Structure 1
Amino acid sequence: MISNVSRGIVTQLNCFEGDILNPGQKLISLIDIDSLKVESDVPEEFIKNIGLYKEVTIDPLAYPDRKYRGRVVHISSLTVIKKGETVVPVLISLTDKDGQLLPNFNVDIEIEN
């Protein structure tokens, strides 16, 4: 029996009932939904408003009436060109969670002033 104390989503199952397993074989892939992070590309003209640990509001497209709070935990030191625009990748940690946000949801972020 395998058990897990954290909440997660199974993304890949590599074995089935009756399979013979080898030591170290990867059985399952999980996403820990309690530690989801938002990856955002901030246009270069707005990067001056972003700082490490800065508060942001997260607006999921799936739940337009719901807003989440987050905090910037990483700002890339390199820019990226996406669709002809220079952006800075930023990583945001959720500070309030209710289990509704799922991996790969699209969100908008609002930078707090």
Structure 2
Amino acid sequence: MSRLSRVGTLAYSLGLFAAGTYYAFNNFTLPLYLSIYTSNAILIGWLSSTRSFEQSIIQPLVGAWSDRTWTRVGRRAPFFLSTMPLVALILLFTGWLPHDPGILLVVVGAIF
């Protein structure tokens, strides 16, 4: 395995910085956004902590699955190519969702 170049290291660092900034911003704003739909603090806390569940359970499982996947386009590319259109559609339609408590079901359904 060859050593990563400075440009590659910078690219990874910028990606990790962007993800960390997003998570910090998300931790602050998501409870405020969810409080529009419900005043139940337990539900808001549960929905706000789904990212921790994903990181501790789902990511290692998908990582192990992708480590055993060998395709013509690579090991990780099939996962990116199959999930990015779905994520783009979800983000596209998020702005048009009605403002009612049913949004919580959509959020939970999209995450799980």
State whether TM-score is above 0.5: no
TM-score, length basis structure 2 = 0.23
Question: Relative to total residues, which structure has the larger helix share, 1 or 2?
Answer: 2
TM-score relative to the length of structure 1: 0.22
Q: Pick the structure with more strand per residue.
A: 1
Choose between structure 1 and 2 for higher RCO, CA contacts under 8 A separated by at least 6 residues: 1
